[in-house]
Chain A
Amino acid sequence: MMRPLWSGTITFGLVSVPVDMYPANRSDRAPLRMLSPDGVPLSRRYYSQESGRDLDDDQMIRGYEIEKGKYIVVTDDELEKLAPRKSRDIDLRRFVDDQAIPPIYFERGYYLTPGAGTEKAYRLLAKTMEENGRAGIGTFVMRGKEYLVAIAAENGILRAQTLRFADEIRSPEDIGLPKKKKVAKSAVTKFEKLIARRSEKQLSTKELKDAQTDRVLKLVKSKRSRGKDIVEVEEESGGDGNVVDIMDVLKKSLAAKA
């Protein structure tokens, strides 16, 4: 069973909602592995520039380059202690209309499943936000990074969308786009007509299919059926060879609470 990416507590007011966080996106459908000429899956290793020898994790540190070749070393312990207080919590300080967040801010989606203890507060928060069409905004820390997040509910399940911070977004002026020109009304009307003619009531997910990956998988299938370019090696013991279906993980995590 896959472990949650993050476990912590959502708070709104004085109410605490323990949650586990999982990705809301599936990983690459056609991951390609790097193999040796005889088909052995390869591992990426770090090695010393000086001795040329491979390095273990405890022989490496993290450094911030302040000038060419000069580094400030920062340890895991220091990074952990630099995390803002309450970093295990997502404090929802503000609730906003969930349609009012411009798409430019959205980064990545995660599902939140009820964590340890009772799920009553979870269901209460989900129901309230879903019925009011609201998303709660807060920040939290995961794996050495702070995230701004919007939490909304759909189908009784809480979903967190990480958002970009305001200073990570450029403005048209930053880029140097030209100032708006006065536009002839007829030019606008022409485009309005084009848009109206090509508008649909719904967006079909059929149009959002990933044809490029489909082609890769199709070629794999065809080569396999022809027995072409196939290598077999001794089965790996675990490691990244095992593909986790995130959908199964989410279903199990939610079913445990139902």
Chain B
Amino acid sequence: MAARAIWKGKLKLGTTAVPVDLYSAVVDKTVHFHILEERTESRVKQHMVNPATNEEVPNDEIQKGYQVEPGTFVILTDEDLEKLQPKPSRDIEIMRFVSPEHISSQWYDRPYYLGPNGDEQAYFALADALANQEKEGIARWVMRGKEYLGALRSQDDYLMLVTLRHAEEVISAEDLPSLGGRALDKKEISMAKQLVELLEGEFDPAEFQDEYRERVEEFIEQKAKGKRPRLHSVQSKRGTSSLDNALSRSIASLKKQKEKVAA
């Protein structure tokens, strides 16, 4: 089933414009629960109350405030907040291009596919050009009253826009103190490298399943059929041996496995 576009815009590179549709690239697979009242097993409602009096404050009487110091708030009225909203626009402005290694994985937030809206030639030509040049575009746009930053990239012939976190949000490892301590043992470093190499492979997300989600879904299904599925307690394994010993035993066991596969 074809998905519906959540937004329409124009990619702007200087004077060139490429019209696009925006689609979410992720599906929500979370098992969503509702909060129920235990006595009646019916849905609960929420409201805002004054904790001092336990009295409900209706929505139209609620004000929004920013706490400037404990107990002191500056009120921002609906009018204030409206004035602060960015001007609506359909333009996705590409400010510049950089190599992907300059965008840390920490910045990436939500991915969207872009689809061509009209000019398919220009759309696929831009995707090709980005792939050939191995670059990502840094984009800025306004969507539903919010300013966004994003990375425009090419993936398997298609254009994607991945929103980026703002600079103020991300804590960089460079700003954190490094760990001191005695120099590490050379033999242990070389064994650790050997161990990592033995576990090396391609990134293949299909190797990993959300086992927990599957178990919860299965459990709910069983319960819905009136069954009482058996449950087991969680166990945790703990390493006991010394670092040196654990490294050499791991290497030996992995080597043996590899020999078996090769034989």
CB distance from B93 to the nearest CB of A (A): 11
Docked pose: A15 CA to B128 CA in angstroms: 45
| Chain A positions 30-55 with a Cβ under 8 Å from a chain B Cβ | 30-37, 39-50, 54-55
Residue on B nearest A166 in the bound complex, by CB:
B205
User: Which listed residue (B66, B101, B115, B147) contacts A211, Cβ 8 A?
Assistant: B147
| Chain A positions 203-230 with a Cβ under 8 Å from a chain B Cβ | 203, 205-213, 215-217, 219-220, 223-224, 229-230
Dominant SS at the B interface? mixed
A183 with B125: in contact, given A205-B167, A258-B179 (CB under 8 Å)?
Answer: yes
User: Which listed residue (A59, A100, A124) contacts B192, Cβ 8 A?
Assistant: A124
**Which chain B residues border A247 with CB–CB below 8 Å?**
171, 175
A32 with B196: in contact, given A170-B3, A203-B102, A209-B166 (CB under 8 Å)?
Answer: no
A66 touches B224 (CB 8 A): yes
Docked pose: A71 CA to B181 CA in angstroms: 55
| Chain B positions 211-263 with a Cβ under 8 Å from a chain A Cβ | 211-213, 215-216, 219-220, 223-224, 231-239, 241, 243, 246-247, 249-251, 253-254
B102 touches A202 (CB 8 A): yes
A94 touches B201 (CB 8 A): yes
A63 touches B34 (CB 8 A): yes
Docked pose: A202 CA to B113 CA in angstroms: 25
1/0 per position for B6-44, CB-CB distance to A under 8 A? 000000011010000001111111111111111111111
User: Which listed residue (B97, B199, B233) contacts A12, Cβ 8 A?
Assistant: B199
**Which chain B residues border A79 with CB–CB below 8 Å?**
216
A13 touches B250 (CB 8 A): yes
Docked pose: A129 CA to B50 CA in angstroms: 52
A212 with B147: in contact, given A96-B202, A155-B176 (CB under 8 Å)?
Answer: yes
Docked pose: A72 CA to B167 CA in angstroms: 43
Flag whether A194 is at the interface (Cβ < 8 A).
yes
A236 with B71: in contact, given A103-B108, A106-B105, A132-B193 (CB under 8 Å)?
Answer: yes
CB distance from B23 to the nearest CB of A (A): 5
**Which chain B residues border A78 with CB–CB below 8 Å?**
219, 231
Docked pose: A50 CA to B109 CA in angstroms: 41
Docked pose: A11 CA to B37 CA in angstroms: 41
User: Which listed residue (A34, A46, A86, A206) contacts B45, Cβ 8 A?
Assistant: A46
Chain B: residues with Cβ within 8 Å of the partner, total of 165
A114 touches B37 (CB 8 A): no
1/0 per position for A178-189, CB-CB distance to B under 8 A? 101101100111
Flag whether A1 is at the interface (Cβ < 8 A).
no
Docked pose: A74 CA to B223 CA in angstroms: 9
Interface core residue of A43, A86, A126, A206 (most chain B CB under 10 Å): A43
Docked pose: A37 CA to B75 CA in angstroms: 10
CB distance from A83 to the nearest CB of B (A): 5
**Which chain B residues border A15 with CB–CB below 8 Å?**
192, 195, 239, 243, 246-247, 250
**Which chain A residues border B199 with CB–CB below 8 Å?**
12-13, 92-95, 136
A220 touches B44 (CB 8 A): no
CB distance from B185 to the nearest CB of A (A): 8
**Which chain A residues border B107 with CB–CB below 8 Å?**
208
User: Which listed residue (B13, B42, B57, B125) contacts A184, Cβ 8 A?
Assistant: B125
Docked pose: A29 CA to B177 CA in angstroms: 23
A125 touches B192 (CB 8 A): yes
Flag whether B91 is at the interface (Cβ < 8 A).
no
User: Which listed residue (B51, B80, B157, B206) contacts A43, Cβ 8 A?
Assistant: B51
User: Which listed residue (B48, B164, B179) contacts A34, Cβ 8 A?
Assistant: B48
CB distance from A121 to the nearest CB of B (A): 5
Residue on A nearest B94 in the bound complex, by CB:
A198
**Which chain B residues border A146 with CB–CB below 8 Å?**
210-213
Flag whether B77 is at the interface (Cβ < 8 A).
yes
Docked pose: A80 CA to B193 CA in angstroms: 36
A29 touches B168 (CB 8 A): yes
**Given A157-B179, A168-B27, A232-B73, 4 more contacts at CB 8 Å?**
A49-B44, A63-B35, A208-B166, A212-B84
Listed A/B pairs (25) with beta-carbon separation below 8 Å: A13-B250, A32-B65, A33-B64, A34-B63, A36-B63, A41-B51, A55-B44, A65-B34, A66-B220, A74-B223, A95-B199, A95-B200, A100-B203, A127-B184, A128-B196, A154-B173, A161-B105, A167-B29, A168-B28, A175-B23, A183-B121, A195-B135, A199-B98, A216-B81, A223-B74
